[in-house]
């Protein structure tokens, strides 16, 4: 498997796992430090997980020898999925849900997800160059 193919499934897996990492953290004046997982932030956190799994499944499908129609290149699908995940993560970076306003600090999970989505986009672009 080419380096871009490996980068695609690793980035997809990391993107999916970022939904189970802390996206927000903070502590009240009297309480312990609290971390909010991406999964608990609502539909966007769950959708990021689904997008990551979809990217992994595309890579596994190719490894299994199942081909998509030539009119639907895998690289384009990966780019669209990763770009969608990037937009959703940027929304969560800019807009913290009201119920988590006390945990105003962005945690590592958001940044891991954003970096994973960027790697998936770059891997998709490299694959697009290979497919030409």
Structure-block tokens of residue 23: 């996206």
What's the pLDDT tens digit per position in 35-57? 889 999 889 999 999 999 999 99
Average pLDDT score over the chain: 88
Residue 31 inside a domain? The answer is: no
CA dihedral 105, 107, 113, 114 (to 10 degrees): 40
Q: Is residue 8 part of a domain?
A: yes
Tally of structural domains, the chain? 1
* Residue 30 belongs to some domain of the structure: no
The whole-number average pLDDT for the span 14-27 is 91
pTM: 0.88
Query: Range of 42's domain?
Result: 3-22+36-131
| Residue 58 belongs to some domain of the structure | yes
Residue 103 lies in a domain: yes
């Amino acid at each position: 498997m080419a380096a871009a193919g490996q980068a695609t499934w690793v980035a997809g897996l990391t993107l999916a796992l970022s939904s189970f990492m802390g996206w927000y953290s903070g502590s009240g004046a009297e309480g312990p430090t609290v971390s909010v997982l991406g999964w608990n932030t609502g539909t966007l956190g769950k959708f990021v997980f689904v997008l990551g799994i979809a990217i992994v499944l595309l890579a596994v499908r190719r490894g299994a020898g199942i081909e998509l129609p030539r009119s639907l290149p895998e690289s384009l699908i990966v780019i669209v999925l990763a770009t969608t995940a990037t937009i959703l993560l940027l929304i969560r970076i800019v807009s913290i849900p009201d119920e988590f306003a006390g945990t105003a600090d962005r945690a590592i999970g958001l940044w891991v997800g954003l970096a994973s989505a960027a790697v998936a986009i770059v891997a998709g672009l490299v694959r697009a160059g290979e497919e030409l």
